[in-house]
Amino acid sequence: MNGQMKKLSTIIILAGLLLVVMFVFNGCKKKSEPAAPVESNEITSAVFEQTICPIMGEAINKDIYTEYKGKKVYFCCSGCAEKFKADPEKYIAKLPQFKD
């Protein structure tokens, strides 16, 4: 009778360990899979909304920008930056960062 109890408790312990191992594996999979793509999407949309020069409508150059009302405004060339500085109110309607 004593031997049987020992066998039974060993089986229960092994079954318990197996459950814990399965739980840990499942938990890891659930945590690591959805995290990566969500984060990268947030970074690209939040940091960089403007893609087009408000003066000429060309693709912007990230090295050419000025700050207006605390927000960065990007241009396709330095000539456009000068035009914007001369009359910024004329162009901000075209900028997504000033739409609110």
Choices 4-12, 38-46, 51-59, 91-99 (CB under 5 A): range interacting with Zn ion = 51-59
Nearest approach, Cβ of 32 to Zn ion (angstroms)? 44
Distance CA 12, CA 23 (A): 16
Please tell me the count of residues contacting Zn ion according to CB under 5 A. Answer: 4
> Can you tell me which of 80, 84, 91, 95 binds Zn ion, judged by CB under 5 A?
80
**Within 10 A of 94 (CB to CB), how many other CB atoms are there?**
14
Nearest approach, Cβ of 93 to Zn ion (angstroms)? 17
Residue 76 engages Zn ion in binding (rule: CB under 5 A): yes
Element holding 23 (H helix, E strand): helix 2-47
User: CB-based contacts of 50: which residues, under 8 Å, 6+ apart?
Assistant: 60, 73, 74, 95, 96, 97
Contacting positions for Zn ion (CB under 5 A)? 56, 76-77, 80
